[in-house]
Amino acid sequence: MITLYHARYTRSLRVRWLLEELGLDYELKRLNFQAGEHKAPEYLAIHPLGRLPALADGDVRMFESGAIIQYLLDKYGEGRLHPLPATPAAASYLQWFHFGEATHQPYLSVMAQHLAILPEEERLPQVAGKARENALACMGLLDAHLSEHEYVAGDQFTAADIMVVYPLVLSQLFGLLPSEGHPHLMRYYERIEARPAFQTAVAD
């Protein structure tokens, strides 16, 4: 049985979304993020830094959303949601897969800290503002790319979209989306929002 440790609006939504796209059975263990359950001893025994998601699959224990997604695709994907390795299509897939977490997401994480998570007296508007500028630059890059492609890795929905969309979900929470200045990105986001698996993953 696959068990996913989950809290709304954390990176666990990526894994839940993939599990839904692949139609796999899984158990959801919900953590109350606001109540700090991710920093309670029970969860720190599963992820010592108290981050989400974490996954159990038989004897396998994992954290890191990108790693879990690659692992699940390799084990249960049967070739779905990613191109063949070592092709030009794979180069684009991998680039955007990693872009979603390594380049784009850190700016949203900083915004989350300085707009919502830190105690009010520790929040720094100039730090949130600089992160917002950088997040907008990432949105500009995505908008230009999506002016020529339906999905980030080409004409088909792939797991790279799952990686890329998480910072966009947070961008919506923080008022960066919708954005008239990013029409291709907006239409892309509407295509994503139409997917039932995405709707389930962000619902709660």
List residues near a second copy by CB under 8 A.
48-49, 51, 57, 59-68, 70-71, 74-75, 85-86, 88, 90-92, 94-95, 97-99, 101-103, 105-106, 109-110, 122, 124, 126-127, 137-138, 140-141, 144
- The residues that bridge with 176 in the sheet, in sequence order, are none
Write down the least CB distance from residue 189 to a second copy, Å: 20
Q: What are phi and psi of 152, to 5 degrees?
A: -65, -35
Specify the residue, 28 or 124, whose C-beta has the smaller distance to a second copy.
124
Specify the residue, 62 or 195, whose C-beta has the smaller distance to a second copy.
62
Specify the residue, 6 or 82, whose C-beta has the smaller distance to a second copy.
82
Write down the least CB distance from residue 18 to a second copy, Å: 14
Specify the residue, 58 or 196, whose C-beta has the smaller distance to a second copy.
58
Specify the residue, 95 or 200, whose C-beta has the smaller distance to a second copy.
95
Write down the least CB distance from residue 199 to a second copy, Å: 25
Write down the least CB distance from residue 97 to a second copy, Å: 6
State the Rg of the chain over Cα: 17
Residue 85: partners with Cβ closer than 8 Å, 6 or more residues away: none
Q: Are 180 and 151 in contact (CB under 8 A)?
A: no
Token pair 């989306």: residue: 177
Write down the least CB distance from residue 109 to a second copy, Å: 7
